[in-house]
Structure 1
Amino acid sequence: MADDLLKFVSIDQKMPEKRTAKERAEDFSEVYARYNVDGAKEQSSRCSQCGVPFCQIHCPLGNNIPDWLRLTAEGRLEEAYEISSATNNMPEICGRICPQDRLCEGNCVIEKDFDSVTIGSVEKFITDNAWDNGWVKPITPRKELDESVGIIGAGPAGLAAAEELRKAGFQVHIYDRHDRAGGLLIYGIPGFKLEKDIVGRRTGRLEQSGITFHLDFEVGGEAGLAELRENHDAILIATGVYRARGLKVPGVGLGNIREALDYLIASNRKGMGDTVPEFENGALDANGKNVVVIGGGDTAMDCVRTAVRQGAKSVKCLYRRDRANMPGSVREVQNAEEEGVEFVWLSGPEAFLGDEKVEAVRAYEMRLGAPDATGRQAPEPVPESSFTLDCDLAVMALGFEPEDLPALFGAPELRVTRWGTVTVNHSTMMTNLEGVFAAGDIVRGASLVVWAIRDGRDAAAQIKQFLRARATVAA
């Protein structure tokens, strides 16, 4: 180990090659290239193999990061893939889109003086390399079981649960409202962060493994929750949260004020070759427009960077707190600034101006006041500080809330919280309905993909336990 590791004192951090801002602003290809084998081995060799790996502790999946870094440094790449995929159903996806600066890399013990190990980029390399070498195989259960599980939602939580249940031999059916599987991985995240063929090969592997996808399937339309319960031995609700949070200010009903997800879905569909009428008529196309995005999370970063690639005249991000308190990834903010996005910190929208369509946003300056219950300083308006920004397209990226699932699913008996998330027993992940489980954002609220994967894996474990217990009683 001495020859292959602990080299952080002699080898600097080196990210994979990064395309120039000018080059990447012209297309939706990913920003970073991929390590070659030597590059991945070299950067993995910087791991200190510390006794208490903070990177692993701060990973929602508890990934065995030091182990697969060691194996990569030693050139044992197939073993590194096996270790990486043992705890994560989508390592190459998490390697691309996880906010490593807030999770594993941000808690690396060598970060402060030496820069952290490039964990995300190595994670991406390990599984991309495994795909290239044919090491990623369809699932072949040791024994086929008669019980079937219906999963509502083909996003990361549903896909992770489906894979774990299929490994155990269950018959798995996934129902999704969209015409492609992947959920927000396909429709919500732009290609410059996650190219769509990366998701497609994952869902394709699940199909090859015997998982049945029912796409363009609206639960509550094609069939209600009660009918699905009759058809399956267990149900997992993994719909995610899609309804945009609103903003109550004058002029919010003007034309060309759009929700972030509508904007991103249109752009992604266009990129995949679909005909998108609202893009074709210019309503969801930023080309030549002054764009103002309101919000400061990762979705807002996706929107501003999409607008740049669509040829916007100007792109501004209006956020009510300062840079230090911004929830979006630090790396994403840096990339956006390099690409020409202007951040208007400590500012909030006061009104949208225009006759039929928005022509400007009147905003006011804000300051950080007293901390709230979590210790975070609450923003408050500065009196008489209004200013105006030209705006032809305003995009609202204020977060997401659950839809009314009991009404949507035709299941008024399904219990939800006062926030609209599905109520579960957190020990079993089961709802108030026998055999109906829930996982992901529809339980915890809008969160990270890595947490959705974790929840999907946990739900699969609980479903397996439930079905085995029921089979034992029946026997």
Structure 2
Amino acid sequence: MAERMLQFVRLHQAQPEKRPVSARREDFGEIYREFAAGAAAEQASRCSQCGVPFCSVHCPLNNNIPDWLKLTAEGRLEEAYEIAAATNTFPEICGRICPQDRLCEGNCVIEKGFESVTIGAVEKYITDTAWENGWVKPPSPRQERPQSIGIIGAGPAGLAVAERLRGRGYQIHVYDRYDRVGGLMIYGIPNFKLEKEVVLRRWQQYEAGGIHFHLNVAVGTDVTMAELRSRHDAVFIGTGVYRARDIETPGSGLAGIVPALDYLTASNRDNLGDAVPEFTSGALDARGKRVVVVGGGDTAMDCVRTAVRQGATSVTCLYRRDKANMPGSMREVKNAEEEGVEFTWLAAPEAFVGEGKVTGVRASRMHLGLPDATGRQQVATIAGSGFTLPCDLAIKALGFDPEDQPAMFGEPDLAVTRWGTLKVHQRTMMTSLPGVFAGGDIVRGASLVVWAIRDGRDAADQIDAYVTSKATAALAVAAE
């Protein structure tokens, strides 16, 4: 069926249809409609089946993308799903929220001249079809093992470990301080990018597969790390990074200035039907307000697009570099622009102004200079370029740092790097505490969901090797 491929010479790139801007500004539904079966097969057939697939090379999970594109083009969707799921714990989530323009699609060999294959949309289509047809099954080990694994954090890294090790027969217990499974996929990412049912159905599937979740449990308070280490044969830490970065500027203590995660969590909880007093009072609701979001990453894009849907009178993104240097996905920037967000490039906040409550953000124009040691252009203030943006709600989307894990867990011997992330062995992913492993953002710093999945899958292999070697050694001692 090879004749079905290499159709990029006659077929143009086509994404699934977007809902009209006027409609998507009014609700939190996902903005892309579903691919029709014929359209998905057509777009998959544009793959060149190149000998060195740069899409796979630049995917953190090294997904076998050309293989499942070919199977999709041939209508063999169940096989396509099996190939996608073999390397990816959550293909339906990555298809929705991965920055494909920076990863697989951005490195597609036909990108120059023909535009890339719509890899993310086809991945989403394959997996959504698999769910609809009942092809996605709970993890079911061939044989149960007596050893148990404790996992701290029910985000993508922790869930990837849980799924992989449960499939090998381990008894899995996941501890999370929140009341739902999913971490930032539930409380940090808005519905218009990732509808919560997509995450919640995985939770239900994993419970059906025998994974035990202990929610509203804070390790270090409700249960100690020492107790977990004595209870389980190995422990994995996948807590992510939640401490918001800040800028020390005059007026930072004014009411109406909030961290991005507080704002997004309130919105997501409200959409889930939870009672959120800070949202109900209007403190974390943008309705009728002039909103200024400070920052240029994907979290900033989540904030500005959430404010639009909440009914803000104006939404402005203030970023100190230019559009070409934004760390966030260009696809998300385009979506925000379509929805009416204004971008003030090359501008940085100097102070927040107001009497008791913020009424404006005073900023200065910036210019880009020579690259620094990291290769990024340095920014410098243009003298006398100050201006003020009117503002009723200012949201700081400046990134995240790790919490003090040794203090939080009551484990002073838990080694951290100079950035506060957990220090792990490069190969085994074990921390300074024997039998305790870690991965995801708590090791990398704030990163992508796809990298957390990769770390979780790699850590699962290392945990399996560690526990197996311990069991083998114990049997050898018993036989003597």
TM-score of the two chains, using structure 1 as the length reference: 0.99
Alignment of 1:299-448 (within 5 A): 299-448=299-448
Which residue in the other structure is 1:51 paired with? 51
CA distance in 1, matches of 2:48, 2:337: 32
Amino acid in structure 1 at the alignment position of 2:432: N
SS, match of residue 85 in structure 2 = helix
Aligned to 1:106: 106
| 2:478 alignment counterpart | none
Partner of 1:30: 30
SS for the counterpart of 1:172 is strand
Q: SS where residue 8 of structure 1 aligns?
A: helix
- Provide the rounded CA distance (Å) in 2 between the counterparts of 1:196 and 1:89: 17
Query: What amino acid sits opposite 1:164 in the alignment?
Result: R
- SS of the equivalent of 2:8 reads coil
- Counterpart in the other structure of 1:143: 143
> Match of 2:232?
232
Note the alpha carbon deviations across 1:430-452, whole angstroms, 9 max, x for none: 01111000000000100000000
Write the distance in 1 (CA, Å) between the matches of 2:179 and 2:6. Answer: 48
Q: Does 1:42 align with 2:42?
A: yes
Bigger drift between 82-91 and 218-227 goes to: 218-227
Q: Secondary structure at the match of 1:273?
A: coil
- Counterparts of 1:189-268 in structure 2, within 5 Å, are 189-268=189-268
Tell me by how many angstroms 1:311 deviates: 0.1
Count the aligned residue pairs: 475
Equivalent residue letter for 1:404? D
Displacement, 1:3?
2.6
Task: Give the aligned residue type for 1:224.
Answer: T
CA distances 1:288-329 after superposition (whole Å, capped 9, x unpaired): 000000000000000000000000000000000000000110
Partner of 2:460: 460
Relative to the length of structure 2, the TM-score reads 0.98
SS at match of 2:7: coil
Q: How does 1:68-87 map to 2 (within 5 A)?
A: 68-87=68-87
Q: How far is 1:2 from its partner?
A: 3.7
Distance 1:15 1:413 in 2: 50
User: Take 1:139 and 1:386, find their aligned partners in 2: how far apart are those partners?
Assistant: 58
Between the aligned partners of 2:49 and 2:172, the Cα distance in structure 1 is: 39
* Matches of 1:169 and 1:269, distance apart in 2: 34
Please, what is the CA RMSD of the aligned residues? Answer: 0.6
SS in 1 for 2:263: helix
Does the alignment pair 1:167 with 2:167? Answer: yes
Give per-residue Cα distances to partners, 1:204-239, cap 9 Å, x unaligned.
111111000000011111111111111111000000
Partner of 1:285: 285
Structure 2: segments with no counterpart, 5+ residues: 476-480
Report SS of the residue matched to 1:463: helix
- Equivalent AA in structure 2 for residue 65 of structure 1: I
Q: How big is the shift at 1:139?
A: 1.3
Conserved 8 A contact 1:224-1:411: no
Q: Where does structure 1 lack aligned partners over 5 or more consecutive residues?
A: none
Deviations 1:155-176 (A, max 9, x none): 0000011000101100000000
Hey, what's the Cα distance between the residues in 2 that align with 1:124 and 1:379? 39
Identical-pair percentage = 68
Structure 2 Cα separation of the partners of residues 226 and 411 of structure 1: 8
Given that 1:298 and 1:328 are in contact with CA atoms closer than 8 Å, whether structure 2 keeps it comes out as yes
Residue 112 of structure 1, CA deviation: 1.5
Q: Does 1:134 pair with 2:134?
A: yes
1:368 is paired with a residue of what secondary structure? strand
Structure 2 residue identity aligned to 1:200: L
Q: Look up the SS of the partner of 1:385 in the other structure.
A: coil
Cα distance in 1 for residues equivalent to 2:380 and 2:447: 25
Contact preservation (8 Å) 1:292, 1:395: yes
In the TM superposition, residue 251 of structure 1 has moved relative to its aligned partner by: 0.5
AA paired with 1:471?
A: A
Aligned equivalents of 1:248, 1:374: Cα separation in 2: 24
1:18 partnered with 2:54: no
Residue by residue, what CA displacement relative to the aligned partner does 1:32-72 show, whole Å, maximum 9, x if unpaired?
01112111111100000000000000000000000000000
Partner of 1:3: helix, strand, or coil? Answer: helix
Q: Which amino acid in 2 is paired with 1:195?
A: E
Alpha-carbon distance between aligned partners in 1 of 2:247 and 2:208, rounded to the nearest angstrom = 44
**Residue 374 of structure 1: how far off its partner (Å):** 2.2
Distance (Å, rounded) in 1 between the aligned partners of 2:328 and 2:150: 34
| Offset from partner CA, 1:169-193 (integer Å, 9 cap, x none) | 0000000010000000000000000
Deviation at 1:418, TM superposition (A): 1.5
Residue in 2 aligned with 1:90?
90
Matched, 1:156 2:139: no
C-alpha contact 1:16 1:34 (8 A) present in aligned 2? yes
The amino acid of 1:283's aligned partner reads A
State the 1:202 CA deviation. 1.1
Q: Find the aligned partners of 1:426 and 1:161 in 2 and give their Cα distance.
A: 17
How far does residue 411 in structure 1 lie from its aligned partner after superposition? 1.1
Cα distance in 2 for partners of 1:305, 1:266 equals 14
> Counterpart of 1:384 in 2: which secondary structure?
coil
Aligned twin of 2:276: 276
The amino acid of 2:39's aligned partner reads: G
